[in-house]
Chains A and B, each alone.
Chain A
Amino acid sequence: MKHLIAVVFLTVLFAMISCEDSFLEKPVSSDLTVDSVFVSKIRTEQFLWNVYSTASIYEFNHFWSSTDNRFYHYGASGSLVSVATDELEVEGTYPAIPKYIHTGTWNAENIDNGSWGIEFMSHVCYAGIRNANIFIENVDKSPFPEEEKKSMKAEAIFLRALMHFDLMQRLGGISIVDHVLSVSSADDIEGVKIPRSTYSETVDFIVRECDEAAEHLPNVYEDNRYLGRIVKGAALALKARVLLYAASPLFNSPDGSTYVPVSDPELRKLIGYPDYDKNRWQLAAEASKAVLDWASGESGWCKLYDGQSNPVDRYEEIFIDHACPEVILSAGLAQTAGGYFCLFMLPGQIIPQGQNNPSNHAVTFNFTKLYQKADGTDQTWDETEGAEYPYSQYRQKLGELEPRFQASVFQSGTEWSRGSGTVYHFYETNTLQLKDVRGVGFMRKFVKGVRSGSTAPRWITFRLAEFHLNYAEALNEIDGSPAEIEWAINRIRRRVEMPDVSYAGQDATREIIRRERGVELAFEQHRFFDLRRWKTAGQEGLMKGTIYTLKLYDTKPEPTYRLEEISNRVWDDKMYLYPFRQQEVSLGYITQNPGW
């Protein structure tokens, strides 16, 4: 009996030791782990939406908040990247391009400075790539039927390829990340320091990925509620765009020269092809043709938009109609009322926004000159800088320009919402902040009829018109059939009821194609990269030098306008490619682009 207590002590002691295992087990909770994500159809799908969201196909950052860095990487802070080209000028608190890119003060240190950056944040792109890789590596565990798994995996593969393209078009050859990188131990740290692939390898990777994705992607999703998911055409489109870039002079220089002198042969391979190969244009032409063929054949739905009774409405509607059959891939935007979309995209205070400091995208005079008159001839622009001209002349000359100008530019003396009867004269002093417009007019493309509370448009990544122009451009470089070139360009022109153009020899036709491209794809984030790949960004008046406007004055008895400089932009040829951020270079595994 006396000993019993001692025995109890010891028994209790060892009983407790033996139950160690369960004592420290984490209790069952509502936490989700990788095993509970990919065994569920719903959660697997939800993670795919996360891949969509982070491997963003938004081509500008329409929304951000301190906790949400999805949209940092694509496009400039507070404006379209077009503000860096001759297309647009902007003024406001948020836009970073006027502060850093116009002044030529952007560099490796400040390229992603702060939480917003200037334009583009490479590491955020890679966050999207990481999510795509997670999905690709785990989707096979999910309970979807095999076919659906393949198709969903193809979506992630496409998005991963799109992110790599996103990086490549700014940086040249980049680090290719095709698996999930982990850093659970220090040994892994070296493993995640993946050096740059050559430009050639990067192109090949993306093309290969597009081919693989195209094999499994559907032509259409049966249910319209999935509009915006990746279809086969998107993979073909990305491939076509990548090959066009790869064939272009910046990367495939006919004389082998680089945009700034480069002596290191390894570096040379990172920023483009060291040698010229005309066949790259051939590949580009074929890839673009494949998109056109897919649209007219296999897709069963994709075609140039031909609705509406007049060409102005028709062109405008492409960017407004969510179900526009010309759009191969687009992204839904969340914000309308009071959101950043309104803040950045709408002129002044026309639409009550609940936000101060609108960005006011204004169309420049330099770019206005690209538009022909509706009859296919050039407008006479004989204004002298600083001289006064009557307002009526402004109205008349701009009014004569072709439908796409009318659709894309909100000019003084017109309505914002057609048929509303409210005409705005920008020289008038009012509370709408229109008086200080710095351009010929405000950008209205994408935002026709958009106002507070209305549904935002979808942002277009690929639309069929681009591939007509890609096709024409590539064909022209390989001395392709003039009839085929004319067909491609004039399909675009006829849609907006512009007269046909004719083949005029390779050089002249190149200029025609480039001008047509500028007009058709205005503000769609193409020109910023097109001028680079053409190696023309450094030409006066494009991304360098003086940008002009037609400025309105409330003079008496009649309002007047003057040709005035609004911006003077610094360009350095090293800027054909972006710098890698200094933080990466300091880690010692990235070769910086030349000149930075």
Chain B
Amino acid sequence: MKFNIYHKNKHNAGWLFTVTFLFASYAPVSAQNDSTTVNIAYGKQDREHTAASVAVASGEDLRKSQVSTLNNTFFGRFPGMTVIQTNGEPGYDDASIYLRGQHSMRNNSILFLLDGFEVNNINQVSPEEIESVTYLKDAVALAVYGISGANGALLVTTKRGSNTGKKVNISLKARYGIQTPTHLPKFEGSYNYARYYNEALQNDGLPLLYTDKDLEGYRTGNDPYYYPDVNWYDEILKSTSNIQDYTLSLSGGNNYSRYYVMGGFMGSDGLYDHTDGKNNSNINFQRINFRANVDIDVTKRLSVALNLGGRIEDRMFPNTATATFWQHIATYAPNLYPVRTPSGQITGTANYPDNPVGSLLYEGYGSRHTRDVQASITAREKLDFITEGLGAFASVSMNSNYMNGYNKTKTYSYYEPLRTVSSAGNDSVYYIQRGADTDLTISTGNDAEQDRMDVMAGVEYKRSFNGHDLDLLLMYRQEKYSILGEQSLYGKQNLLGRLGYTFRRKYIVEFSFSYSGTDNYEKGHRFGFFPALSLGWVVSNEHFLSGNRYIDFLKLRGSAGLLGNDKGSGRFAYNQYWGPASSQGYYFGTGVTYYEALVQLALANPHFTWEKSQLYNAGVESELFNGRLSLTADVFYENRYDIPVNVSNTLPGFSGINFSSMLNKGEANNKGLELSAMYRDRTGDFGYFAGVSYSFARNKIIKSYETPRGEEARYTQGKPIGQRFGLEAVGFFKDNTDIENSPVHTFYPVRPGDLKYKDQNGDGFIDANDEVAIRNPSVPEISYAANLGVSWKGFDVELLFDGNSNRSVYLNGYMFWPFINDYNISTWAAERRWTPENHANAAFPRLTTQSNANNYRSSDFWVRNISILRLRNAELGYNISGDLLRRLKIERVRVYLSVLNPFTFSNLDADVDPETLSVGYPVLRTYSTGIVLDF
């Protein structure tokens, strides 16, 4: 836990460090973990000398969750950040990250920086090579990113070496885990499927499909070929899969140079059974990370830092898209066909040719191979001869990411079972062949490449004298970025600076700015100035608090500034383009000759500009009771304007502008707060800590330029971004009299047991005009986390909880629509379904075989508010110490057991994962065991 605040208090700094050492994690091998400084944009700052709002997590904390994707380690680590799981597919399981919720209707993407240089993504950086991840929150922290800083930034800082004399610090880490789905929905077997299907047909007024004889056949299950009963989960999945990671790192240094070198391997398998990796493949993700960060003091004044970080990512997967594959597994009816014919051939039908077992084993596989290198060199010169504390630096960096694909593809013949009655009068099945077997064909492609080159240079000045602390930075940065297949490079320029001044360690003034621009806007409108100012007051350094027994540290701070967001602007949207368009020509002449025409393409907006954000933040940081309790609180308000919105819906058709017309006219605001507290103490061999955090962010669309509507309630303006809209369900139709006495439901002819809606506009009809805002927005407004730990002698236990609230999910799609396309019915739906007898207690509409557009649409019946609390990670560790180790020249040995996602609590009444709604690859629970050896 690093989001609490430390400060440089001689009296108890060492003590605190010890606590951190023991409970939070092992200190990293490098000595950079100076808890009083924090990595910020283009530098480090002393906590006492900054008035910016940031949250930090160390690599050591992040590595505790054994996952293959970095942002899945962010759960619960950063107050103000909401992390939502998307799925568990190894290599493709990036979580959704929201920093203080959503800010813009247009674009909320976050800025990522790796050692100061912008990168597209940080998700495949190994937590092992990370010193810390900093989340920059307020204007003064972000202003230096100017035109692209408004959505918040995450800074990854990698580890560096320190002067260790002759010693080389060697660290070896190994961890092995087994993964299993946290949850798989339950579906009915053939007997119940057939019974409910008949009920659905009866509800629809259609003739029944399954005879009593059929039902009896399914019930007894005596003939698995005539009456198949297949659970596709059982056929496809193994009970567990593996994940493992190993890291070796070396670090050290002397008076002239310092180094940190690491190599790591991570591998994670999918849950699919019976694959061989040659003709077919399980999901598989393997990654090698390596890094060398070297610092060399060339002269007394000049130093050079060389960073080289890279990775190799290899992914394999079956050829059916994962989401589709899991849809098939979940929904294919149990009686659709047996998995194989009696002679072992794969079955299938013309309508359902994709027998999941066939898709997995007989269609080859796909693979993707990614290589990523980031390299940078920085030269740093001390300019003490001009004035003490002055320095200059320049650096160049490149980042290349290349991916190619390699696929093996084949088709197979499958056999459609057809039922017949033999001459003897017995039921029998025969099979007809469909499709054909082909050999594996190999294809390559899916190439993608991005290259980025950054250049930075600047001067810095850092000096303390007579109670004045000065920290100045002025620098220039430029960036060129190219994407394979795009005509123009992307360019950015930034002249930025920061002026920090602290008087007598009590009063902090910090001013930061950026004058930055991109090539994406019209000449003359490319640059913007983004200033931010913060003020801080370290109250605890005032004489009236010095020596106070309870208050060790107390800082109040506030900031305000202007930020920009250039993402979401169309490429060169200021330019009006013209071009030929297919079939827009005209026919002249007796021979009807085609004359090609030239058309004006999408309407340009010459004044197109970036979104702007006025961001205000105020906070308090404190340490109380001899450092036992630390408290941090932040409140913020953001006014986002110039958001690009498509105004064409508010334009008359008479403008002749039929295509989207983006103007910087949208407005939204966002406000919220973050609180965090950490209590830690130790008596003798027994130590413990408890940290909690709470974040809240609520946004509102102020101006949206929507299609004019008759019903005020249908506007998104005035409501949060991602507000859900739908009908208000008032129950189920009881009987035909009920239907006759209700407004006309226009979507689909209703029958008893269908959903009944409220006529919002009172026109006697239920249609799209009756939609209103329902439930909470889709992105959580509230996130919370708790981190608890105890230690006793060599043992320690840590629990990390994470959760969110004030959000809604929309239960729709195949999990909730039984019998659509003859899909399976979940036990959950079957148990809750409406029947005339169960009218009072029903919690699911009547069963139907039709695409019932009345029931299956957005309404507050399907849109549910949810809250989640999960135990994200639990770890039990033991640190071995003693003479033996010393004799073996081993500094430390730690062994531990951990479990990821052991419990998730939610108030969602549905048999699905509350976040992913069990669409796609399931969320995983991982049981891990690991060892750390430091030499």
What is A's interface to B at a CB cutoff of 8 Å?
A: 2-3, 5-6, 9-10, 12-13, 16-17, 20, 23-27, 29-34, 36-37, 43, 46-47, 49-50, 52-54, 63, 65, 67-70, 121-124, 126-131, 133-134, 175, 177, 181, 183-186, 189, 192-194, 224-229, 322-323, 331-334, 455-456, 458, 581, 583-584, 586-590
Contacts and interface: CB of A to CB of B under 8 A. Distances in A.
A20 B657 contact: no
A46 B653 contact: no
Contacts of B710: 586
Contacts of B526: 24
Contact of B493 (A24, A43, A185, A323): A24
Contacts of A23: 478, 491, 493, 519
A123 B651 CA distance: 10
B588 A123 contact: no
B579 interface: yes
A123 B654 contact: yes
Contacts of B572: 26
Nearest to A24: B519
Given A226-B588, A227-B588, A586-B708, A29 B655 contact: no
In this complex, the member of B589, B596, B656 whose beta carbon has the largest number of chain A beta carbons within 10 angstroms is: B656
Given A24-B491, A24-B519, A184-B606, A9 B392 contact: yes
A34 B596 CA distance: 18
Contact of B597 (A6, A36, A53, A186): A53
B381 A9 contact: yes
Q: Which 6 A-B pairs have the closest CB atoms?
A: A123-B653, A332-B587, A130-B656, A586-B708, A46-B598, A50-B597
A46 B597 contact: yes
A26 B488 contact: yes
A111 to B, nearest CB: 11
Contact of A183 (B381, B589, B663): B663
Given A26-B575, A126-B653, A32 B598 contact: yes
Contacts of A193: 652, 654
B601 to A, nearest CB: 9
18 contacts: A5-B379, A6-B392, A13-B394, A16-B457, A24-B517, A24-B526, A33-B577, A33-B578, A34-B578, A70-B584, A124-B653, A126-B653, A134-B600, A177-B655, A184-B604, A225-B593, A228-B587, A333-B587
A50 B575 contact: no
Interface in B612-663: 647, 649-658, 661, 663
Given A37-B598, A586-B708, A68 B583 contact: yes
A351 to B, nearest CB: 18
A182 to B, nearest CB: 8
Given A50-B599, A129-B656, A322-B589, 14 more contacts: A2-B385, A6-B392, A9-B459, A33-B578, A47-B597, A47-B599, A53-B586, A63-B583, A123-B654, A175-B654, A181-B656, A322-B591, A332-B589, A584-B652
Contacts of A589: 652
B352 interface: no
Given A65-B583, A124-B658, A332 B650 contact: no
Contacts of B578: 32-34, 36-37, 43, 47
B63 interface: no
A13 B651 contact: no
B518 to A, nearest CB: 7
Given A27-B489, A53-B585, A186-B665, A194 B658 contact: no
A224 to B, nearest CB: 6
A222 to B, nearest CB: 13
A24 B654 contact: no
B576 interface: yes
B274 interface: no
B377 to A, nearest CB: 14
Contacts of A24: 491, 493, 517-519, 526
B586 A49 contact: yes
Contacts of A43: 578, 598
Contacts of A583: 649, 653, 707-708
Contacts of A224: 589-590
B603 interface: yes
Interface of B: 299, 301-302, 379, 381, 383, 385-386, 392-394, 455, 457-459, 475-476, 478, 487-489, 491, 493, 495, 517-519, 523, 526, 572, 575-580, 582-600, 603-607, 647, 649-658, 661, 663, 665, 707-710
Given A5-B381, A227-B589, A192 B655 contact: yes
Contact of B653 (A34, A226, A581): A581
Nearest to A126: B656
A455 B392 contact: no
Contacts of B605: 184
Contact of B587 (A3, A331, A590): A331
Nearest to B579: A32
B586 A192 contact: no
A334 B587 contact: yes
Given A49-B585, A189-B651, A589-B652, A6 B455 contact: no
Given A9-B457, A47-B597, A25 B476 contact: no
Contact of B592 (A5, A13, A186, A332): A332
A107 to B, nearest CB: 13
B589 A194 contact: no
A427 to B, nearest CB: 36
Contacts of A185: 607, 663
B652 A194 contact: yes
Nearest to A175: B654
Nearest to B708: A586
B654 A5 contact: no
A584 B493 contact: no
B652 A192 contact: yes
Contacts of B665: 186
A135 B628 CA distance: 76
Contacts of B381: 5-6, 9
A32 B600 CA distance: 9
Contacts of B457: 9, 12-13, 16
Contacts of B392: 6, 9-10
A128 B661 CA distance: 17
Contacts of A16: 455, 457, 476, 478
A332 B656 contact: no
A126 to B, nearest CB: 4
B596 A49 contact: yes
Contacts of A50: 584-586, 597-600
